[in-house]
Structure 1
Amino acid sequence: MHSPTPGDVLKALGEVGGVRFTREPASHLQGAALITFKAPRDEDISRYGWIHIGGAGPDSILNALQGCEGRPILTRTIGAMGEQMGEYVLAYALTWLQDTAKREGFQARSDWQKEASLPRYLFDQDVAIIGMGAIGSGVAKMLTPLARSVTGYSRSGRNTEGFGACRRLAEFEGADIVIATLPATRQTDSLLSDPFFGRMNGGLFLNIGRGSVVEEGALQRALGTGKVDRAVLDVFRMEPLPKEHWAWTHPRVAVTPHVSGVTRPVDIAAAFKVKLPLFLEGRLTNEVDREAGYGVR
């Protein structure tokens, strides 16, 4: 088992009949499975029959498996990720709409500024979610009862449950709040660039998917022209974010250290236990499209 918190995951797994858990390399063992976030460097992970990815994003494992045919079966952990990210988005959206920083500034000066402190409301806002996978759907579930509209966008625009409307990304025309939940693939690399941000009209942009999907220079330009009023960035192409990066000190950017969705050991254990009987019976199927580079369920 390779994980940032292997002890916590083992504790959450507890006793599972007929299964031995180890933190040592086990790819040489017949019928071995691996639970991990990233590919370990001390063994050939292509020799496992099954890799259960601790998080929702499969990009690290797929990169390690490039050129490998067939095995292993890949599954992943979703757990409460959609709900977590929905709460993250909700917190920053309300902070923006209520302009809490301005109010705190008035308070610090003992300055009663009622007109300048008036809020905007989420029920008046149109929300666009870029990416309609498990994470995007979870965020949509959180925001749909509160926002005026929630529209999902993907390359295909295929109808997906939980969204008020589903459209192709090519049809994106901006929204008050725009949330990127895209995975890291060859097709999504720098997908959100000048043409994309040029369709916005001063709204809030949040990236909670993968940092590589945003062309950072384009976002910086959009902030400069007012096409984007504020950006909340939880993920970056390079992490940890270098101290000299412009986003740290930009007055209209909030930087968070990849915490919008934190995989809980209990979710990893629960997902693994559900899939384990299927693996032992030879009925487990892939939850990751290795060619496309993202989870299919």
Structure 2
Amino acid sequence: MTLNILFAAASERWDDYEQPLRRALSDAGLGDAILSTQLPAAEVDYIVYAPNSDLRDFTPYTRTKAVLNLWAGVEDIVTNPTLTQPLARMVDDGLTRGMVEWVTGHTLRHHLNTDLHVLHQDGIWRNDDVPPLACDRPVTILGLGALGSACAQALCTLGFPVTGWSRSQKSIEGITCLSGDAGLRTALSTAQIVILLLPRTPQTESILNAETLSLMAPGAMILNPGRGTLIDDAALLAALDTGHVAHATLDTFRTEPLPADHPYWAHPRVTVTPHIASTTRPASAARVIVENIRRGEAGEPFLHLVDRALGY
């Protein structure tokens, strides 16, 4: 029986992914598989999927063994009642490296107060603002999944004391791992830099709000490369206006692209980056997708399956 793989994502992504997927299939000994954007639903074995696809009803895909998401986030698809097939999220080394680089870069930028010198090239010799060493700058990461854990370990290697918080208790060498409501309060109150890498779920909605922001030390800084829904925007803007939060570097937002009239654009204590912290790279993502297809055909367990009850 022919192996049929449906590519279901925004049409412009087909040109990016077709050749990397074909190469990965060939390398895995699956070069005879049919890969297409158009296949009869009842004959599809695997769906390579992105939530911006037009595909919403999975009911006709009765032969499909797995839906393989191209994105790390699955919040836009995980609650679809027609999706009864196994769903795997994207856990990709390229995705992880990109996130580690963005988080490390902006953490160091805030730690060293680089903006002070970049934005003030005015002939004034400002040498009275010397940053502490990394060992004296505690960092908290909310979310200790694949991305959060990798970022925590990278920052720990640079000498930052890192506290991580997650819904369920984790154990990571060199990282202070906390969980639960009391753990969240401790994690926020001890941090000078807070990094958000939680998934979007009902439980993480506005996890940074007026109450939790007030727990942070005056002058703390926030990085959000996770999900825009993790922050109560009005509460953050209020905290920025008073200086309680010294700066927020934000990569994800409730509405994307961020509307041109949104207050974040003009706020002097906000840096907006356009959801570029970590992007799926076709070459490495294709290898992850095809490895799961290979496993499915070999009768091995799929990798990175989504827990529908948790939502990620």
How high is the TM-score relative to the length of structure 2? 0.85
Shift of 1:182: 0.7
| Secondary structure in 2 matching 1:232 | strand
5+ unaligned residues in a row in structure 2: which ranges? 1-6
**Counterpart mapping for 1:209-248 below 5 A:** 209-248=226-265
2:68 is aligned with 1:52: yes
Within the candidate set 284, 293, 296, 2:311 is matched to: 293
| Secondary structure in 2 matching 1:59 | coil
Query: In the aligned structure 1, how far is the partner of 2:114 from the partner of 2:160?
Result: 22
Within the candidate set 188, 192, 199, 2:215 is matched to: 199
| Paired AA for residue 309 in structure 2 | E
Within the candidate set 257, 263, 266, 1:249 is matched to: 266
Query: In the aligned structure 1, how far is the partner of 2:71 from the partner of 2:55?
Result: 21
| Secondary structure in 2 matching 1:243 | coil
| Paired AA for residue 37 in structure 1 | A
Change (3 A) 1:32 1:205: same
**Equivalent residue number for residue 103 of structure 2:** 89
Within the candidate set 157, 161, 183, 1:149 is matched to: 161
Instruction: Please give the root-mean-square deviation of Cα atoms over the aligned residues, in Å.
Output: 2.0
Identical columns (%): 31
Query: In the aligned structure 1, how far is the partner of 2:208 from the partner of 2:234?
Result: 11
Query: In the aligned structure 1, how far is the partner of 2:126 from the partner of 2:289?
Result: 54
Shift of 1:183: 0.6
Please, which moves more after superposition, 12-21 or 205-214? 12-21
Query: In the aligned structure 2, how far is the partner of 1:282 from the partner of 1:129?
Result: 37
Shift of 1:105: 4.2
Deviations 1:65-110 (A, max 9, x none): 2x237x3111122213222112111211222222223213443x22
2:206 is aligned with 1:190: yes
| Paired AA for residue 85 in structure 1 | M
Q: Is the 8 A contact 1:211 1:235 kept in 2?
A: yes
| Paired AA for residue 75 in structure 2 | D
**Counterpart mapping for 1:3-42 below 5 A:** 3-4=9-10, 5-13=13-21, 14=23, 15=26, 16-29=30-43, 31-38=44-51, 40-42=53-55
| Secondary structure in 2 matching 1:151 | strand
| Paired AA for residue 242 in structure 1 | P
How high is the TM-score relative to the length of structure 1? 0.89
Q: Is the 8 A contact 1:93 1:204 kept in 2?
A: no
**Equivalent residue number for residue 130 of structure 1:** 142
Change (3 A) 1:248 1:129: same
